[in-house]
Amino acid sequence: MSVLLAHTGPEPLTYEDVVIQCHLDPDDEDTAERDLIERIIIPAARGLVERTTGAAIRKGRYRDHLPVIPASNVFAITTGQAYELESIVLG
């Protein structure tokens, strides 16, 4: 199972995207609502999609553990959408 070490990129969904999609008033100056959407709702929605699909949406550094390297030397990482493998540590 992959473990998130750190996010390396911004949230792919912005407050402005939510305002458009949910037909909210773009001129509303309610900072509590904006804070709720940016800090709670957007990360929760992204996290739900990532857990459901098994694919990372927001860029990040992950650590994955393989108990053994298969005899075929072919293995799958547990979080999809990876674009770079930094290292493999055995032992």
How is residue 88 written in tokens?
Answer: 């493999």
pLDDT by residue, tens only, the chain of 91 residues: 788 899 999 999 999 999 999 999 988 888 999 999 999 999 999 999 999 998 899 999 988 877 777 788 887 778 887 777 787 777 6
Spatial distance between the Cα atoms of 60 and 6, rounded to a whole number of angstroms = 6
Tell me the pTM. Answer: 0.77
State residue 82's pLDDT score: 78
Specify the long-range contacts of residues 31-39, CB closer than 8 Å, at least 24 apart.
Answer: 38/11
How is residue 16 written in tokens?
Answer: 């402005």
State residue 20's pLDDT score: 95
Burial of 64 (0-12, 13-18, 19+ CB in 10 A): middle
CB 54 within 8 A of CB 78: yes
State residue 70's pLDDT score: 79
